[in-house]
A and B are shown apart, each in its own frame.
Chain A
């Protein structure tokens, strides 16, 4: 009898990249719902714009690079990039801003570096930083969370859609009526204005730890993140690294001078800390690979976030921290190579 030949092993992997990416997307769903609840329907429009341009950009680049586009589109990584970008931009963002970010992320940060697996920088963060620098005004315009007694003019779905499409508010409303500074902004400007942390925290947008509403999104992101950990789609090293890197200096500074340094809880539940720890920094392509390397990588990101928030000119520093550590990845990988079984233990680290 004749048989077909093939190389070993004769078992196939039980995991696949598209399935992993779908689970990452699924893990973001609770936080997305919370986001819409607190900050209005703008998130949906941003997600749609980002997805259309990310997927479109991916298709275009695959065609230009003479590769089958269905391969790249079928792995859903462009959608993950789009989703992260949608979480990063304010819910009121004109479409061209989001589109610029999505296109830069996919076209430049991903495909010009060789496509998935070869990109040095986290595409979503590269795209975000570009629009943060190009459209600073639009990216600082966060509306206040719909919670409790915050005095706030809510926008309807149609008004939000109109803003997304045209970048203009209803005639009767000015930006001041709908927007609020984010808790991190309030903290930063307050501290710059020589006020103490407890004075700043009296602001109604401040919640138990971070900002109201933001904390809840953080909780749901953490639930999604723990689910990814349980499903072993991400490993614990990067989240723990980010947490320790940020909270260790934050705790020390808080203990030394609680008047001019917010609590570690504030750092944890403000801005994009939790999103970064579970969903952004854990992008395997642009992260370090060994367990030890990932701890170092995560720690570096956490530390940089703390430094930028404390001494930098940006209120949050997640995107910059991630991009800087992306650059350090080759070096981290080189010095954190695991010991090969059977090789001498005291081998020099450098090759």
Chain B
């Protein structure tokens, strides 16, 4: 069956990119065996780092919590197999900023013994939504589309808004990546079950499952699963195959024709967006009591001998995953975690696969872009920008470090999709420039905030000193006045009392 495409909103610009997805979707998802060693970063989510609750030498079981969330925003980390903690130390990671982070390193015993099931009921409908949210908190589930925002907290935040629609994001518009596609083909029913859990937790009655039109098999699989489920609150929605239609705000715009306000969230327009992988993880946790300890990831690119999708334990190093698939091709030169448009380039394959790792892309040594030439103002960048920015003007202001203009021209609205880079005839690395400019604006803001705090502290101190001085003066004046009114007798009385006090001491 084909999902209907109807009343879709309009997305400005975007690009039709070659998919490069057939190689990795030819065979079913394969399971990567237990590695000899697991590297579990304590920060695999947006927010505060989790705090390790195990020590070196401790034995851990599969599914056991090894780091607890600490702070207002966070998610626990679970051991993805059984073994012994051999170290808690910094290790290279694939984070957006910074190159290494504290990791819990587990030597696996290969037995994969699971922690005791706490015997909780899988009947989520009998739970109060609030209790369901609390339970989700313990599953270590974060947004698996790449943003890794702790899911339970995203839901709790959304509960404060009026949410009408849950949108399951199965768009996966970036080239090469096909892990969500494969998941939808193989586990459509589980994804829909996850959606039902999320809908119960949020008490919402409408869910769109958005899938790109080129994912025919996934559409079929989900369509069949929907027919079997017979839940008419869930609707399959086919969206056009245009990059970056899978961006959260872009998808909301496509599906509901509402623009997410600048600096706001989809919840501001009544939508909650969850990745299909996240929905499956919710199902695994609530129904099967398995926390987020593994994920499907795409291993692809010309630098990979056998492109495929694999399910690997969180903490398996990229090197181990690639080796399982059959190793690197000759002349592999760039290792990218994520897709070719927004991924992050790594210097080593020692980095572990984390909750965010949706793709391992290895590309060959090629002469990338030619020489960077001056901008000729052709405006092609603006015509492909999904946020309708003027990248060319932004670039100009970024070069001039003009913060006010950068703000006015919407630098913070840039989603860093990379479309402008791809059409620039002058080969200007626009996105990289914008990332740097954003960093600088953030620095400036931090600087300002620091200066403001210091100023306020200083002023408060001055005020306090002034107040104390005044208080002392008024008190003194009051005492003098009292003494004057009471006359010499009272003064003698006071002196006598003081004398008495001294003697008592």
Contacts and interface: CB of A to CB of B under 8 A. Distances in A.
Interface size bucket, B side?
A: 35 or more
A118 interface: yes
B390 A11 contact: no
A289 interface: yes
Contacts of A15: 380, 423-425
Interface in A44-82: 71, 75
A16 B425 contact: yes
A340 B408 CA distance: 10
Contacts, number: 167
B347 interface: yes
Contacts of B338: 8
A16 B253 CA distance: 32
Interface string B64-84: 000000000000000000000
Given A5-B346, A8-B418, A115-B374, A290 B390 contact: yes
B346 A351 contact: no
B396 to A, nearest CB: 10
Which 5 residue pairs across A and B have the least CB separation, nearest first?
A9-B418, A117-B374, A7-B432, A342-B262, A3-B335
Nearest to A283: B376
B495 interface: no
B223 interface: no
Nearest to A341: B387
B334 interface: yes
Interface of A: 1-17, 19-20, 71, 75, 115-118, 235, 284-285, 287, 289-291, 294, 333, 337-344, 351
Contact of B432 (A8, A75, A115, A290): A8
Q: Is the interface of B mostly helix, strand, loop or mixed?
A: loop
A3 B345 contact: yes
A17 B369 CA distance: 12
B34 to A, nearest CB: 22
Given A8-B342, A289-B390, A290-B390, A3 B347 contact: yes
Contacts of A5: 334, 345-347
B193 interface: no
B383 interface: yes
A285 B377 contact: yes
Contacts of A2: 347-348
A344 B260 CA distance: 10
Contacts of B427: 12-13, 16
Contacts of B425: 13, 15-17, 19-20
A8 B344 CA distance: 7
B382 A289 contact: yes
A115 B375 CA distance: 11
Given A13-B423, A117-B377, A340 B345 contact: no
Given A75-B373, A117-B375, A342-B249, A1 B340 contact: no
5 contacts: A6-B345, A8-B432, A11-B422, A284-B377, A340-B389
Contacts of B382: 289-290, 338
Contact of A8 (B343, B369, B410): B343
A175 B131 CA distance: 98
Nearest to B348: A2
A326 to B, nearest CB: 12
Interface of B: 12, 17, 175, 249, 253, 259-264, 319, 328, 332-336, 338, 340-349, 361, 363, 365, 368-371, 373-380, 382-383, 386-390, 392-393, 408-410, 413, 416, 418, 421-427, 429, 431-432, 435
A10 B426 contact: no
B343 A10 contact: yes
A338 B390 CA distance: 8
Given A5-B334, A8-B431, A341-B387, 14 more contacts: A3-B333, A3-B346, A4-B345, A7-B431, A8-B345, A13-B424, A117-B426, A284-B377, A287-B377, A289-B390, A289-B392, A343-B262, A343-B410, A343-B413
A289 B378 CA distance: 7
Contact of B340 (A9, A291, A333): A9
A179 B435 CA distance: 61
A17 B408 contact: no
A5 B344 CA distance: 9
Contacts of B389: 340
Contact of B328 (A1, A9, A338, A342): A1
Contacts of A115: 374
A289 B264 CA distance: 28
Contact of A116 (B12, B376, B429): B376
Nearest to A234: B378
Contacts of A118: 374
Contacts of B17: 11
Q: Which of A4, A13, A19, A118 has the most CB of B within 10 A?
A: A13
Given A9-B341, A10-B334, A16 B370 contact: yes
A9 B421 contact: yes
B379 A9 contact: no
B333 A4 contact: yes
A235 B410 CA distance: 25
A284 B262 contact: no
Contact of B429 (A7, A291, A338): A7
Contact of A3 (B348, B388, B429): B348
Nearest to B341: A9
Contacts of B369: 12-13
A6 B367 CA distance: 12
Contact of B383 (A7, A10, A291, A343): A291
A144 B46 CA distance: 75
Contacts of B390: 289-290, 337-338
Contacts of B413: 340-343
Given A1-B319, A3-B346, A7-B429, A341 B341 contact: no
